[in-house]
Chain A
Amino acid sequence: MNSKEFLSIRLNLKKTQKEMAELLGTSLRSLQSFEQGWRKIPNEIERQVLYVLVMRSTKEQSLKPCWELENCPLDKKEHCPAWELNSGHLCWFINGTICKGRAYSDWNEKMEFCRECQVFQPIKQLYDRAVRRGQDGPKERQSLFYGGGEIREGTSEKWRSFDLFDQVPTSIAIIDRKYRIVDANKRFEDTFGPWNGKKCFEVYKNRKRRCRHCVATITFMDGQTRVSQEQGRDLRGNLHYYLVYTSPYRDSEGKITHIIEMSTDITEKVQIQNEYRTIFDNVPCYITVIDRNFEVVKSNKHFQKTFGKDPGRYCFESYKKRKDICEKCPAKIVFEDGKTHHSLQEGYDKKGNKVVYMVTAAPYSKEDREVNYVIEMALDVTQTFVLENRLRETLEFRQTVIQNAIDGIIASNKEGIIDIYNPSAKRMLKYPTNKVVGKMSGEQIYPGDFLRAITGDDSAVVLKESKIADYKGNSVPVILSGAKLTHDNQDIGSVMFFQDLSKIKQLESEILEAERLAAVGQTVAGLAHGIKNVLMGLEGGMYVVNSGIKRSDNGLVEQGWNMLQNNIEKISSFVKEFLSFARGKTLKVELADPHAIATDIANLYRDAIEQSGIIFIPKLEEGINKAPMDAQGIHTCIANLISNAIDACLASDNKKPAIRFSLFEKDNTICYEVRDNGAGMDYEVKKKIFTSFFTTKRAGEGTGLGLLTTRKIVHEHGGKVFFESTVGKGSVFRLEFHRNRLPIPDAEKNNSL
């Protein structure tokens, strides 16, 4: 008799453990140990159980006595206690029986013999039936739970009434060899619906056939208890995940008749797991789990996407395409000190491109034991790295440009303090760098006109003529440009670029002198030509006079004589004009009033102009500051222009000829302008107007020196002659004098010398 048979019989007898113990005259503890299989059930207990079964049985009366069944001879049976006690059907229960010729003193020996005896067979049937009954029916599951559980004395009643089978938070189903669900608890029914008479696969998975991988089949075969994860659909058709414990149930002969499946819903856990897996794979960094041998035991998809599906066994292979461990291995450091570390690393992706990543290497261990793994989380910063490099390059580039610029560059920050002062600026201004950068404010160096301009509305300024005081207080002429620097409408400072004009100024005056000399040279060459013309006039006149005399043609003689006279006049006017041209060598420069000069000329020419039938429109701006000029020279220039304008008007067919004479100052430049609507000039004439002795006027009316003289005087004032002309529309001549280029007044010149 084994523990299960014992238990079945007790259940068949409908005895509690306590009642059974009392019946068998043993302690409750012993009985529990019998049922749980801890102790072998002794023969005397088995004998008592069999006795109880027989006495309870209705068959007891019909059992035949042993002597009848065994045809025991009288002389023998008279000596047998069974005969003596009239217990022929209980002979196996009585010691000292002599059916095999001798009495067995040892109970074990006797039972071995009795079990095989035909007298015992009905008892055995009784026994088997009792066992079977105890196993079958609704009582069975109680046996499994109450009988197998560790029930304390005095509490069993309470637990039994409390239907644990239905209360456990687990779905339980009992399945027989034909995969039928023979019993299930309430929770199972709540989860999977009605099960009565259905097969497990129908209920669990809504299938028509047995599952391909059937855990039940395997358990029926090997009798092992196993745990597996299964999927199934609940009543609403939702997919659920279950953790299933599958245990075999054996009958009294050890044969597996049923299996018990206990399933716990782990859907939520699986979902969380999936979420973590998703995060692991898709988090925008490379995650690898590295063991103590530096093998990559796990990596996420993001890692695999960049470094390849199987980039190598070791971390250094995977990340860096190296054959051995890196010099500064982040994982190694973590294994050593068990702390989290950060570092910047460079590796190569599957295509061999450089990857720069920020690694956080953290220890990973279960239950605070020794660190067995390192998790490396690497954030790809290649892009940032590239940008940083580019930024650095840009900065270096900018620095180089600033340092090597020919222009002086000074920039101040939003506090106004200078933080850029390049070598060219130093060369021009001579301030030691260490006294400027971080020490001086821009206002201390920037020239006043620049400061005024950038503090005004203009954010960017170009000043063609300005002056900066250098370290020694000397004024340096400069051309400068600059800007107020803003970002999102916030002032962030200012910058000034400038070039030293001292040299250029000097060159300019040299050029001026060269131009003047060239003008003189041209004039001398032109003079020779003019003389040639006059000479020809004289020779021609003589010829014509001679010819007239020869032909006795008085008219021709007179014409020849006029020719001679004209040319002699021409010579005298040449000499005068040339003298005035040459005289210009010494300008008489003094502070003159530009307006007064213009008014003088306007008054002088008004009558002459108007008498010629030309409308005269003087437009002379007042309030122009005095300027260092040769008033007489300027006077000559304008007079020339107006005289030309009158001629142009007279030469044109315009019905309403007009001359406009204006004076104005713009951008520090004093301008005299004479505009007519006369004949205008064609290209050939324009090309030649500044050439000496070129004239379109009739002989005796112009010498061709007027504009040349004008240009010479204007150039000597550092000015420019600007003109525009269209044939038939008129001409405009403008004399422009920039104040910064005007000559130094003679009085000052003498002082400085």
Chain B
Amino acid sequence: MDDVKKKTILVVDDEPDIQLFLKTVLEDAEFDVMTANNGKHALERISERKPDLISLDLVMPKMGGVKLLAYLQKNPELAKIPFIIVTAHAHDELGREDLMKLKAEKVLVGPHSYIEKPVIPSEYVNKVREAIGLERIEDTGTEGLKAKVRDKLKIATKDKLQEALKVLGE
């Protein structure tokens, strides 16, 4: 997987735990990983080396994700970098408005997407791969299956669930 090895991901999160977790996940998926604690810090890292993707938290002290994105949008070169927002606040008062705004302003389109915490490693890796134009890796392990089932459950109707139960029962 030489092609993957070359890709560099910048993980921006103020919580060291999350930072470490995401870093480990991405390293396991054989990406090169840089980390930053906040927006300002992230800008410094970007100036050192341009990443292929930015994974960022929205709510951070000093410079939050929204401000960082706004800053990146001003620079045509940097605006092209795909990003994934990793947030726990997609549906609460801390992040909802910000996300809506990003969508409304057409910042959160195309390769750019968001993922909600808690992060499931395989899902996160696939989002990252999709965003930088790589194939999804179908996880055949238990975790991967669980994730698939979870995704199916989210969109399952009552009938389908009953049908599934029937099959499982047999």
What residues make up the interface of A, taking CB atoms closer than 8 Å to B? Answer: 525-526, 529, 532-533, 535-537, 539-541, 543-544, 547, 550, 556, 559-560, 563, 566-567, 684-685, 688, 691, 694, 696, 699
Contact = CB atoms under 8 A, between A and B. Distances in A.
B160 interface: no
B28 A694 contact: no
Contacts of A533: 88, 117
B118 A535 contact: yes
Nearest to B118: A536
B93 A543 contact: no
Nearest to A688: B94
Interface residues of B, number: 24
A543 B21 contact: yes
Contact of B117 (A532, A543, A567): A532
Nearest to B58: A684
Contacts of A540: 17-18, 20-21, 119
5 contacts: A532-B118, A563-B17, A684-B59, A684-B67, A688-B94
B94 A544 contact: no
A537 B119 CA distance: 10
Contacts of B21: 536-537, 539-541, 543-544, 563
A223 B93 CA distance: 126
Contacts of B67: 684
Interface string B21-47: 100110110000000000000000000
Which of B16, B17, B24, B27 has its CB near the most chain A CB atoms (within 10 A)? B17
> What does DSSP make chain A's interface, helix, strand, loop or mixed?
helix
Contacts of B82: none
Contacts of A556: 24
B64 interface: yes
A536 B25 CA distance: 13
B144 interface: no
A543 B61 CA distance: 26
**Closest 3 pairs (CB-CB, A-B):** A540-B21, A536-B118, A696-B61
Interface string B51-76: 00000000101001011000000000
Contact of B64 (A536, A541, A684): A684
Contacts of B28: 547, 550
Contacts of A536: 18, 21, 88, 117-119
Contacts of B18: 536-537, 540
B92 A525 contact: yes
Nearest to A693: B94
B32 to A, nearest CB: 16
A562 to B, nearest CB: 9
Nearest to B97: A687
Contact of B17 (A547, A566, A688, A694): A566
A694 B94 contact: yes
Contact of B25 (A541, A543, A563): A543
A547 B16 CA distance: 17
Contacts of B89: 529
